[in-house]
Amino acid sequence: MSQPFEGLPTTPTADELLDQAFSRAARAGRAKSGVEAQQSMLLTAANVLSDNLEHVVTAWPDIESLDPFYRDLADAVGGVDALRKQLNEVGWAGRKAGEIRREYEGRFADPETARKLRKQAFARMADVVEEVDDDLAAIAEARQELRALPEINPDEPTIVVAGYPNVGKSTFVNRVTRADNETDSYPFTTTQIHVGHLERERIRYQLVDTPGLLDRPAADRNAIESQAVSALTHAADAVLVFLDPTGECGYPLSVQWDLRADIAARFDVPVLTVATMRDKLDADVADNRVDYQMSVTDGNGVTEALDAAIGAVGYEPDLPFDSRP
């Protein structure tokens, strides 16, 4: 599944729409004379406005048909209810331009009357388009943010890596996905979502590192971040929670465990606990709540933790009918 917002076209401003419509109308009018010229100008301007405003609306995917992962991310960026309302307003403006054309086109009795009525119709069309200028601006802003969202395929097995800052999350994702060189960073409001990929037995796994989202308790997240976390719950098949038992990350181990409990309550998938910084400890962590121990610096335990996460996903690809037992 591709990122559904990546191909959204640029959203024009009200001024850009009006400039295009009226300049094309002027060219159309110069090719004719008298009443026919005014009719051609009216038809051209109305069609340009109707077509472009309708295209703003139809270029967007149907929000309700989106995968829940992307629908929640869209809601986090700007709110799908607000976006739906803005698109409806723009659609109304497009229809209104057509209504104005139909109202005036049968009243052009002579050249002078036609010119006055055409100018009156243009003024009303301009008022309608300017009325939705704020809606167009909001849609343009939503487009800009949504186009930058990561391409996370909800149909591919996904491992979310969580924990407080400086516990080794990004280093781990970089290390285990380095062979494919597919680690990218995507801006999401004030955070970054990092996505890496690796293959095991011809199955591609996604590893998602979410600094700024899953690095503090729910009570400390703002509404946008909380919605983004909700989106990730749709994509996750397993979660690795990293803890730094040395405390060098700057956070006491007790609050790290609290965050782990918060994540486990949020995600209805296997949640594995990994103690990092093993190279800086004199002995193993004596806590039976820890599932695995590793050092992202020297690589000890990294493969074991990754294998455990892949095993917890339990993903079995669909096989062609003739290859099934």
Is the model more confident about 215 or about 71? 71
Q: Is 284 exposed, middle or buried (0-12, 13-18, 19+ CB in 10 A)?
A: exposed
Strands 238-243 and 203-209: what pairing? Answer: unpaired
Which pLDDT value is given to residue 213?
64
User: Would you tell me how many other CB atoms lie within 10 Å of the CB of residue 323?
Assistant: 6
30 within domain boundaries = yes
153 within domain boundaries = no
Query: Edge-to-edge strands of the sheet including 191-200?
Result: 184-188, 191-200, 203-209, 158-162, 238-243, 271-275, 292-293
pLDDT exceeds cutoff 80 at 267: yes
206 shares its domain with 245: yes
Question: How many angstroms separate the first and last alpha carbons of the chain?
Answer: 28
188: left (phi over 0), alpha (psi -120 to 50) or beta: beta
State which residues form the domain around 193. Answer: 158-316
- Which segment, 63-67, 96-100, 208-212, is predicted with the most confidence on average? 96-100
Please give the share of the chain, as a percent, with pLDDT higher than 70. Answer: 88
168 shares its domain with 125: no
284 shares its domain with 194: yes
Number of domains in the chain: 2
Computed on alpha carbons and rounded to an integer, the radius of gyration of the chain in Å comes to 28
Is the model more confident about 70 or about 113? 113
Which pLDDT value is given to residue 183?
44
pLDDT exceeds cutoff 60 at 185: no
For the entire predicted model, the pTM comes to 0.75
What is the C-alpha to C-alpha distance for residues 113 and 174, in angstroms, rounded to an integer? 72
The dihedrals phi and psi of 81, each to the nearest 5 degrees, come to: -65, -45
Is the model more confident about 64 or about 115? 115
Q: Is 36 exposed, middle or buried (0-12, 13-18, 19+ CB in 10 A)?
A: middle
Is the model more confident about 110 or about 231? 110
- Of 57, 287, 313, 282, the residue nearest 201 (C-alpha): 313
67 shares its domain with 187: no
pLDDT exceeds cutoff 50 at 322: no
- Of 277, 266, 207, 267, the residue nearest 242 (C-alpha): 277
pLDDT exceeds cutoff 50 at 236: yes
Is the model more confident about 132 or about 161? 132
321 within domain boundaries = no
The percent of the chain in helix, strand and coil, each rounded to the nearest 5, is 55, 10, 35
What is the C-alpha to C-alpha distance for residues 208 and 73, in angstroms, rounded to an integer? 15
What CATH code is carried by the domain that includes residue 44? 1.20.120.1190
CA-to-CA dists, residue 193 to 89, 126, 162, 173, 226, angstroms: 32, 42, 11, 12, 14
Which pLDDT value is given to residue 83?
93
- Of 230, 225, 186, 226, the residue nearest 206 (C-alpha): 186
Kindly indicate the confidence band of residue 216, based on its pLDDT and cuts at 50, 70 and 90.
Answer: confident
* CA-angle at 200, arms to 194 and 201, nearest 5°: 155
What CATH code is carried by the domain that includes residue 288? 3.40.50.300
pLDDT exceeds cutoff 90 at 21: yes
User: Would you tell me how many other CB atoms lie within 10 Å of the CB of residue 155?
Assistant: 9
Mean pLDDT over all residues of the chain?
85
What is the C-alpha to C-alpha distance for residues 118 and 116, in angstroms, rounded to an integer? 5
Which pLDDT value is given to residue 317?
55
Final residue belonging to a domain, choices 99, 127, 147: 147
Residue with tokens 């976006």: 83
Which pLDDT value is given to residue 321?
39
Which pLDDT value is given to residue 53?
98
Which pLDDT value is given to residue 323?
38
Which pLDDT value is given to residue 282?
75
221 shares its domain with 308: yes
Range in 76-85, 105-114, 135-144, 257-266 the model is least confident about: 76-85
Which pLDDT value is given to residue 319?
44
- Of 141, 183, 101, the residue nearest 5 (C-alpha): 141
- Which segment, 36-50, 136-150, 224-238, 276-290, is predicted with the most confidence on average? 36-50
Kindly indicate the confidence band of residue 191, based on its pLDDT and cuts at 50, 70 and 90.
Answer: low
Kindly indicate the confidence band of residue 120, based on its pLDDT and cuts at 50, 70 and 90.
Answer: very high
